[in-house]
Amino acid sequence: MPVIIVIFSNTLYHICSKSTPRDANMFMSLVVTYLVATASSIAFYLFSAQNNGILSDVKSLNWTSILLGVGIFGIELGFIKMYRAGWNISAASLLTNAAISILLIFIGLIFYREHLSTNQMIGIVLCLAGLFFFNR
């Protein structure tokens, strides 16, 4: 189920980012986006069985929530700017996700002690070859 949520939401995200009107202020677009995300998050929080009370739940947070917000803002601003610059929806998503995947492989190996199998390494090479041919 979480994978379906991510795939559906990411698809919706790219369609909406690409379809944001050119004459719309991109920062106001992001403000409205975050207001909807905030309202949705509050609603889900209030009706969550995992709700331990606002003060207790806020105290359990750390720096990651702040940096996640910065990261989300950068992703959204970057994609809106890419699409306004004329990037195709398929190429922008594929290129950025491939680059992110490569970075996360190294981060996983270095910081989280993850391991790569031979099959995974072959898969990475095949994906990079596919990316090369996709962008030709």
| 17 and 35 belong to one structural domain | yes
Could you read off the pLDDT of 63-99 as tens digits, one per residue? 999 999 999 999 999 999 999 999 999 999 999 999 8
| 75 and 130 belong to one structural domain | no
Phi then psi for 62, rounded to 5 degrees?
A: -135, -165
For residue 121, the one-letter residue type is M
Residue that is written with structure tokens 């809106």 in the block = 80
Residue that is written with structure tokens 């990261």 in the block = 71
Which whole-number Å values give the CA distances from 114 to 95, 104, 105, 106, in the listed order?
Answer: 24, 11, 8, 9
Instruction: Say if residue 49's pLDDT is above 90.
Output: no
Domain tally, the chain: 2
68 Rama class: left (phi>0) / alpha (psi -120 to 50) / beta? alpha
What was the pLDDT predicted at 69?
97
Listed residues 66, 87, 108: the one ending a domain: 87
What was the pLDDT predicted at 135?
82
